[in-house]
Structure 1
Amino acid sequence: MCARVCRKALNNPSEVFVNRGQEELSKMSHTDKTKDQLLEELTKLHQRVVKLEAAEVEHQQVVEALRQAEEQYRSLVERASDAIIIIQNEKTVYRNPMYEKVLGYSVTETMDRSFLDFVVPEDRNLVKDYYYKRLEGKPTPREYEVRVMTRSGRLVTMEVKPDLIEYKGEPATMVVMRDITERKEAEEALRESEERFRSIFEKSRDAICLIDSEGRYLMVNDAMCELTGVSRDELVNKHYSTFMDKETHELMEQHWLQRKRGEPAPDRYEFKLIRTDGDIRIIDNVPTVIHFQDKPPLTLTILRDVTERRRMEDALESMRSKLLNLQESERSKISRVLHDTIGQNIGILDFNLATIVEILDETSLESISRLIDNMRNVIRETGDKLRDISSGLHPRLVQELGLVAGVRNLIDRFQGATWIEVHSSIQLDELQIDESVAVNLYRIVQEALTNIVKHSKCSSVLFEMAVDDGRLGVMVKDNGTGFSLEDVSQRDIEQRGMGLFIMEERAKAIDGRLQIHSEPDQGTKVQVEVYLNA
């Protein structure tokens, strides 16, 4: 009875209490109550009616709020970027549009079919086991991964989050599913990349290490252990400055800060590494900064021991210098022989012919004078040519009077032989430098002028020689045809000739720096610079 009244009151509370009021009045008619008592009870009854009407309004508001919440929830589910399904008795009784979009199946194609039909065979038993354990109240993962097959035959990996709900008065499972196929593929690609990196890292013959922002080793390979003479366990967490002197450490810190700030810094340089046994090795260093979004940057460094190569290069450089000096020495000897012996003999021949002319009588002189004059002209031309050859073999003027005098003489002879105008600017009168430096600089200028005659087709040459800040600079520039340095550098040495190669070797022999600038139709400029204290 009470339950029926309550349900009726919820549906129409005013009607219930009006009827109840009438019942009370009917009862009062059989009692001897005063008028005041009746009015008091009617007032209480009215108040109860007002409260029930207010409750009715509140009930309607709750119902409306529930309806709106359901609409918002449905709208949220329908528009969700995740696939959402509701399963009862293994059947999919609800699916949102995203589920259909991901799998490619329409509602009719999935209706009355088990949700397991779309799970790959390898995962079905596991998914089914979780499904029934969850219904039985047993513990199961809050989320896990499952592979499903789409209508097009594409294999998709889904991250699923199941939960028990009540749907239409019956227990059901609501599953929120997210397509993580791309993420899984990216993770797999990353895993493969990491495996390749680790394989290269471990098997590399070069030393490789990963250094944190504090300068401590995080990872090292076997080659790094061999290079430093320290085991892997000892190296990890050790500061990289352990294996270098203070000056080298300060230089590397400066490069690190430059790279960290994004400023230009050498991407390859050499330094001296001090092994634990005291042996000093020359290392070719290639560092790379690895940046992360929310972590401090790391430095990946590849180190190669070039000590033996540097020793061989130094030995080769020393040999090259010795060969050039030996060449100059042999040229000097040949030049001296030509000048002192053959030159003197030619002079004697010329003198003897002049003596013959003096002692011949007029009759004999008249018959052979033309022949003697021709012979003396040949002797003089031979002498001039011999002096040129001697000077070309060895610049005695440089040896005796210095580089400035030798270069001035070279330019004068160049203008006399070629008629090419030379604008010369030599901003010094005397220069005290080592003879080998002077001879090699002279040879470089000589080779540059020779190349101008052979190739440039120029009308004028600019020559400059000056000392600036302890450095001697020489420049030879023409206004000729020029050439492509890139094309020439790609040719074999036989095709490009020995001129440029010889100039480079002579510059190296005196620790100088040679620069050649040329472009087609833009002329050629040869510059060489050497420190005077070298």
Structure 2
Amino acid sequence: MAESAVQALTPIPLDLTEKEPLQILHVDDDVGFLKVAKYCLETQGPHQVDTAQSVEQAKEKMQQKTYDALVCDYKMPEEDGLQFLKELRDHGNNIPFLIFTGKGREEAAIKALNLGADRYLNKQGDPETVYGELAHAIHQAVKAKLARQAMMESERRYRSIFEEALDAIFVADAETGILLDCNQAASKLVDRDKSELVGKRQRILHPPEQIEGEFSRTFKEHLKEKEGQVLETQVITKNGEIKDVEIKANTLELKGEKLIQGIFRDITERKRIEQKLRNREERLRQALETAVDGVWFIDTEGVTTYVNDAMAEMLGYTKEEMLGKSVLHFASQEEIERFNKLFQRRKKGVREVLQFTFRKKSG
């Protein structure tokens, strides 16, 4: 009679994104019901249903095979469905678990859901409706698990990239400026443990002269300027050392909260080298300016890029009158052809020392 009751069942189309067919384990102490349920579920969609008449038998099957979902009765002689559910969850097994029972009580349903059941379904009623709902619930539970796994994997990859990044990364609440997270490079940059940073306002990262009210100057600028703008500023370590940094920041929204993520790159050494080069260039400039001999720089096209006072005075010009002009402007007519040949050889990499005659401004 049970089989004739299900002959009219028709497959219910489901939106499947998970692997097919789904491997389902159905646990119930009623052998006849298991047979009917297996037929109905395998008729409803791409399902492979294995059955177990007790929790103990189900455990044995789960050791031999991996299942996508578990459907279990509530009341069974030895170990009931809720005890089985609790045992699985206590051991970290998050397989989609659906209670499918004819003994439905509200308190039992609440307890099952609190223990981590995905659904609590009543098996009484019209077979097509009951098994259609069960099949749909199984698919929804499996898809929810896959979505959670995908999110966890995404978070794991992000955390791995975040922690292993060479640049320091700080994440703060955009409204309060409170630091919510930072990576290892960030802790190293300011010589503070993560526990000393998270929960503090981001102004703790900067020297006093960089602070405006509750925030650093760059924090305010990043909030109002376009995404990805790079700003230079300074940070201060726990022991008071000042470091030069450049910060690239972007804002993002997570769970309704607006956050700002800043990538800090230590440029202290670069700034030191740049300053050293500027100092050397200044010393060279002073040496050239005070030189007794004339110094004249031209580019590969013969255009004047620099002359010192001695050179300008030698020809009777000011430096401003000579800058930007071709060297040919100051050459005698006989020397122009020699200069043109010199330029051609110089472009080929030929280095040589030559003497030229120039016309003074007075002629």
1:77 partner amino acid:
F
Normalising to structure 1: TM-score of the pair? 0.38
State the distance in 2 between where 1:62 and 1:98 align.
31
Aligned to 1:62: 147
Q: 2:186 aligns with which of 89, 99, 118?
A: 99
Give the C-alpha shift of residue 185 in structure 1: 1.6
- The count of residues paired between Structure 1 and Structure 2 equals 248
Structure 2 CA distance for partners of 1:214 and 1:113, relative to 1, 3 Å: same
The answer to whether the 8 Å contact 1:130/1:140 transfers is: no
Give the C-alpha shift of residue 93 in structure 1: 3.4
Structure 2 CA distance for partners of 1:67 and 1:111, relative to 1, 3 Å: closer
Aligned to 1:181: 268
The answer to whether the 8 Å contact 1:149/1:156 transfers is: yes
What SS does the corresponding residue of 1:274 show, helix, strand or coil? Answer: coil
Aligned to 2:166: 81
Give the C-alpha shift of residue 155 in structure 1: 1.8
Matched, 1:154 2:238: no
State the distance in 2 between where 1:222 and 1:131 align.
43
For each residue in 1:27-64, what CA deviation from the matched residue of structure 2 results, as whole angstroms up to 9, or x when unmatched?
xxxxxxxxxxxxxxx4x997787666555544443332
The answer to whether the 8 Å contact 1:133/1:140 transfers is: no
Give the C-alpha shift of residue 223 in structure 1: 3.5
Normalising to structure 2: TM-score of the pair? 0.54
Aligned to 1:236: 323
Structure 2 CA distance for partners of 1:211 and 1:21, relative to 1, 3 Å: farther
Aligned to 2:59: none
Aligned to 1:356: none
For each residue in 1:129-148, what CA deviation from the matched residue of structure 2 results, as whole angstroms up to 9, or x when unmatched?
5588579x755894322222
- Output aligned runs, 1:375-454, within 5 Å: none
Give the C-alpha shift of residue 80 in structure 1: 0.6
State the distance in 1 between where 2:221 and 2:133 align.
48
Give the C-alpha shift of residue 97 in structure 1: 0.9
Question: In proportion to residue count, which structure has more helix?
Answer: 1
State the distance in 2 between where 1:189 and 1:94 align.
36
Give the structure, 1 or 2, with the largest relative contact order (CA under 8 Å, sep 6 or more): 2
Give the C-alpha shift of residue 233 in structure 1: 4.9
Give the C-alpha shift of residue 184 in structure 1: 1.5
What SS does the corresponding residue of 2:356 show, helix, strand or coil? Answer: strand
State the distance in 1 between where 2:358 and 2:189 align.
58
The answer to whether the 8 Å contact 2:170/2:261 transfers is: yes
The answer to whether the 8 Å contact 1:220/1:236 transfers is: yes
State the distance in 2 between where 1:54 and 1:117 align.
50
Structure 2 CA distance for partners of 1:241 and 1:61, relative to 1, 3 Å: same
Alignment RMSD (CA, Å)? 4.1
State the distance in 2 between where 1:270 and 1:151 align.
62
Aligned to 1:207: 294
Structure 2 CA distance for partners of 1:110 and 1:60, relative to 1, 3 Å: closer
What SS does the corresponding residue of 2:324 show, helix, strand or coil? Answer: coil
What SS does the corresponding residue of 1:146 show, helix, strand or coil? Answer: strand
For each residue in 1:260-304, what CA deviation from the matched residue of structure 2 results, as whole angstroms up to 9, or x when unmatched?
4444x33x44221123433xxxxxxxxxxxxxxxxxxxxxxxxxx
For each residue in 1:153-206, what CA deviation from the matched residue of structure 2 results, as whole angstroms up to 9, or x when unmatched?
432111123333456764443221110111222222233333334434444443
Structure 2 CA distance for partners of 1:269 and 1:126, relative to 1, 3 Å: farther
What SS does the corresponding residue of 1:105 show, helix, strand or coil? Answer: coil
State the distance in 2 between where 1:217 and 1:18 align.
88
Give the C-alpha shift of residue 100 in structure 1: 2.1
State the distance in 1 between where 2:162 and 2:225 align.
26
The answer to whether the 8 Å contact 2:179/2:202 transfers is: yes
Give the C-alpha shift of residue 108 in structure 1: 4.1
The answer to whether the 8 Å contact 1:162/1:175 transfers is: yes
State the distance in 2 between where 1:155 and 1:130 align.
16
2:314 partner amino acid:
L
Q: 2:305 aligns with which of 191, 215, 218?
A: 218
2:272 partner amino acid:
E
Larger radius of gyration: 1
The answer to whether the 8 Å contact 2:301/2:343 transfers is: no
Q: 1:190 aligns with which of 254, 268, 277?
A: 277
1:86 partner amino acid:
V
What SS does the corresponding residue of 1:210 show, helix, strand or coil? Answer: strand
The answer to whether the 8 Å contact 2:211/2:217 transfers is: no
For each residue in 1:46-93, what CA deviation from the matched residue of structure 2 results, as whole angstroms up to 9, or x when unmatched?
778766655554444333222221111111111111111223444433
The answer to whether the 8 Å contact 2:302/2:343 transfers is: no
For each residue in 1:297-328, what CA deviation from the matched residue of structure 2 results, as whole angstroms up to 9, or x when unmatched?
xxxxxxxxxxxxxxxxxxxxxxxxxxxxxxxx
Aligned to 1:5: none
Structure 2 CA distance for partners of 1:17 and 1:190, relative to 1, 3 Å: closer
State the distance in 2 between where 1:216 and 1:168 align.
61
- Output aligned runs, 1:204-353, within 5 Å: 204-245=291-332, 248-263=335-350, 265-266=351-352, 268-278=353-363
State the distance in 1 between where 2:203 and 2:189 align.
16
Aligned to 1:123: 210
Structure 2 CA distance for partners of 1:68 and 1:19, relative to 1, 3 Å: closer
